[in-house]
Structure 1
């Protein structure tokens, strides 16, 4: 069977495109791939996130994205060095070591590392 779906890309609400680009670049290490008046794309390590300009904070505050990572602890340490105040990673019952970030607009980003030998969701 031929694989039909190659990847998923979250599209998050942004109250200010420039502020989103700055936060994701300075705090999370993403590079700007594209910038338009009401849309932006950032990338890091094969991960791509899009932003659309939105005037309603409640939309962003009810949005989240899950990002699988190789090492949640190292990412936590990097983000902390970049000035983020966040809790350290926690091992979840579903076999993932996770930490999270809430961006300036309210979007929740969970970063999860699959732990070998633990029950985890199918990849």
Structure 2
């Protein structure tokens, strides 16, 4: 059986999304593919994406660090949902999100959030 997961996309905290966008675009040469001021930022270069969410400081960072798997999940979000629930992981159904994705959320025993997504 072929692997269901083919790549990962980190979702990182940012104290200032505008400053993060400016740095990633100006310094390492990424381009912003989604910039929602005060809400969310995605930068991309050569097929590599990094997502950012706004946080207010160090107290939020460990609790909300996550990894987002998107566009590389064979069978969309329903395949990992079926696979994980068969293995005994209690999960809610994948959710349709206003930003054009269907996402499945998994929280590990340490509180890390894994998001599996597919474009709607």
Q: TM-score, normalised by structure 1?
A: 0.46
| TM-score between both structures, scaled by the size of structure 2 | 0.47
